[in-house]
Structure 1
Amino acid sequence: MRMKRTVVVILIALLSISTIFAANVRIKDFAKFRGARDNQLFGVGLVVGLNGTGDSGTLNSTLLANMMKNFGISVNPNDLKTRNVALVMVVADIPPFYKSGMRLDVEIASINDAKSLRNGILVQTPLYGADGNVYAVAQGPVSVGGEEVKGTANLQKRFPVVGYIPGGAIVEREIPMSIVDANSITILLDRPDFTNAARTAVAINTKFGVNIAKAVDAASIKVNIPNVFADDVISFLALLEEIEVPLDTIAQVVINERTGTIVFGGDVKISDFVLSYGNFVVVISNGQIGDKQATIGNLVTALKSLGATPQDIIAIVQELYKAGALFAQLKIM
């Protein structure tokens, strides 16, 4: 079917199409070294200075009385009934190799029935690791953020019982870490993939001109430390991080029907078929769309040139997947 019409397609927030090709990516951007990992810290503390928006009940009064005993002050909990205090959970992530004196961001959340943590101050709170040891101490003014939204759609709604303290914790103890094991290190991929693991090993061996790397499985690559770097492992790790690898991507098509968005990554191919949809007839024969290769990208381009709307294209792609003509994973949002 020959359609003698010229269609100018202007896409303004109607259809976004992104094709992700294999690209050279630094190892530091898609992997990490085994042993170099974040750790989660947590603690229970008190936020004071609230203007009557704290917890009800006597739990806070008891905690405050116990805290004052540490300063040699004896107070009856019944004399400390106040809604200016809130019991909170304090959490933080400590990155690898953080040293004593460095600062962490912390988040806090009300545990009891406080109405708001706005303008409150977190009292010094020890933060524990999973092993029960204290690794940091948090304290400081609480930032709630957001706005009190009243009929305004452009402002971020405030959640007053959750807060944030930038740099609110000081590291007191370094978490011990070791990334070298038997004169070797292991690189862990953020997304396990056999192809990318093998390519990473090849890129490392090519860089150093000797076979020091081997893919152990889809997630890990073992790298032996050359003798020349035996006394300077950090320099060796820095060189590894900067090595670029031609990463492979999974053939995948993601559709957002609400926004009319199609995102496809990898080399997404389609098989031969004849498609009749409304006024459109598309024929793919011998792996070609006209004089181009039969890929999802070229198909979308052809459909756009015929005047297909985003909804038309989405419907066609879905039918191709159902018919088994689309060689990719399909995700619909």
Structure 2
Amino acid sequence: MKTRLSYFLILLIIIPSISFSAVRIKDISNFRGARDNQLFGIGLVTGLSGTGDSGNVTSEMISNMLVNFNIYLDSQVKTKNSAVVMVFADIPPFYKEGMRLDVTVAAIGDSQSLENGVLVQTPLYGADNRVYAVAQGNVLTGGTNVRTTSNLQNRYKVVGYIPEGAIIEKEIPASIVKDNTVTIHLKQPDVTTASRVSSAINSTFSYKIAQATDPSSIRIAVPDFFEDDIISFLALIEEIEVVPDAKAKIVINEKTGTIVLGGNVEIADFTESYGNFNISIENNKINGKPATVSTLITALKSAGATPQDIIAIIQTASPYIYGELVVM
């Protein structure tokens, strides 16, 4: 008992005295076992103003629903005021019965709009084909049409949204602790970041309880003192700060002419001729500045290059760029 008490007192002294920069472990990782689950269902949106489905499927669904209420009709209900939809929701970990989820609905048939419609009570299933939530409510399709300086931007009305439109009926079990250990999964797997996270945890507790098992996973042994208070232990882990590392990366969107750089992406010496542009990098310098993709883009823009010119030049020079090139 004395050993455990002294360990806790040391812990309280050490944690405030250590200061890191950058981000919390909480912001770059998740605990294994704490994950979202996707739910789906097929439902019926009613109350539409003649913008619903024109097929027979909708009529059959309405007739079947009426039978459930002991209402029998001689013929099927023919109406364009209803639409068959797919219903989607994500249930986060540790959500309990009675909590609410946001819902997305999307038309299946040829309905023109779900605007002002109401989703009839719809069971939502998990991948195991069990019902975990039930959805119902008014479908929102967004605000009014937006007029820009050049044209009218029409809203997409066959997909809608129901804020807190589903009620959880069954909790999905989630377990974080296994064999008295917890495992952290990095959102962006990286060898250096995984090593830094395990080192930061061990430094904080002045004891080797964490070990990086691969570029995305850090396994942490739960100290004896926290066996009966796992939540406090996890909270301490989440607040530890580290400096994450990442590969130098260039993301290019050719459709929009957008270039996004991650980090200071360096360039080796090369010479390239493109249209009226002659690019030459010598001694790792561009106009006397260190040769990076950022300085290259600045120089090209100053020379009158268009976004398409810059993208073409960067793509051609990719073998000489010390970074990952992603083209969208």
The TM-score range, normalised by the shorter chain, is 0.7 to 0.9
> Which of 58, 61, 80 is matched with 1:60 structurally?
58
Aligned to 2:10: none
Aligned-residue offset at 1:41: 0.8
Q: Does the C-alpha gap of structure 1 residues 100 and 259 become closer, same or farther in structure 2, counting only changes over 3 Å?
A: closer
Cα distance, 1:82–1:266 mapped onto 2, change above 3 Å: same
1:31 pairs, out of 29, 38, 46, with 29
Is 1:125 the counterpart of 2:91 in the alignment? Answer: no
Q: Is the 8 A contact 1:50 1:84 kept in 2?
A: yes
Distance 1:99 1:294, change over 3 A: same
RMSD after superposition: 3.0
Return 5+ residue gaps in structure 2 as ranges. Answer: 1-20
**Distance between the aligned counterparts of 1:279 and 1:88, measured in 2?**
54
Once the two structures are TM-superposed, the CA of residue 109 in structure 1 deviates from its matched residue by: 1.5
The equivalent of 2:247 in structure 1 is 250
User: The residue matched to 1:216 in structure 2 has which SS?
Assistant: strand
- Contact between 2:264 and 2:294, CA under 8 Å: does it hold in 1? no
Greater alpha carbon shift after TM alignment, 276-285 vs 240-249: 276-285
Which residue identity is paired with 1:250?
K
Q: CA deviation at 1:223?
A: 0.9
Q: 1:237 to 1:46 in 2, by over 3 A?
A: same
Q: Which residue of structure 1 aligns with residue 304 of structure 2?
A: 309
Residue 329 of structure 1: how far off its partner (Å) = 2.1
Do the aligned residues in 1 keep the contact of 2:86 with 2:106 (CA within 8 Å)?
Answer: yes
Matched, 1:49 2:47: yes
In structure 2, relative to structure 1, the CA distance for the partners of 1:201 and 1:273 (3 Å cut) is: same
The structure with higher relative contact order (CA 8 Å, sep 6+) is: 1
2-structure distance, mates of 1:281, 1:109? 50
C-alpha change, 1:319 and 1:115, in structure 2 (3 Å) is closer
Q: Which amino acid aligns with 2:50?
A: G
More moved, 131-140 vs 60-69: 60-69
The structural deviation recorded for 1:263 is 3.0
Instruction: Tell which deviates more after alignment, 216-225 or 75-84.
Output: 75-84
Partner of 2:3: none
Provide the rounded CA distance (Å) in 2 between the counterparts of 1:281 and 1:42: 54
Question: 3-state SS of the aligned residue for 1:235?
Answer: helix
Displacement after TM superposition at 1:319 (Å) = 4.8
* Corresponding residue of 2:185: 188
Judging by fraction of residues, say which structure has more helix.
2
Q: Which residue of 2 aligns with 1:211?
A: 208
Change (3 A) 1:291 1:56: closer
Correspondence for 2:326: 331
Residue identity matched to 1:61 = S
1:143 to 119, 140, 152: 140
C-alpha separation between the residues in 2 aligned to 1:191 and 1:109?
31
Query: Is 1:85 matched up with 2:82?
Result: yes
Q: Secondary structure of the residue that 1:143 maps to in structure 2?
A: coil
Deviation at 1:208, TM superposition (A): 1.4
Contact 2:31 2:182 in 1 (8 A): yes
Return the offset for 1:275.
7.1
How many pairs are equivalent? 305
- Stretch moving more, 290-299 or 260-269: 290-299
Give the SS at the match of 2:94. Answer: coil
Q: 1:110 to 1:237 in 2, by over 3 A?
A: same
Q: Percent of aligned pairs with the same residue?
A: 56
Residue-by-residue CA offset, 1:161-207 (whole Å, 9 max, x unaligned) = 22111111111111111011000111111122222111211111112
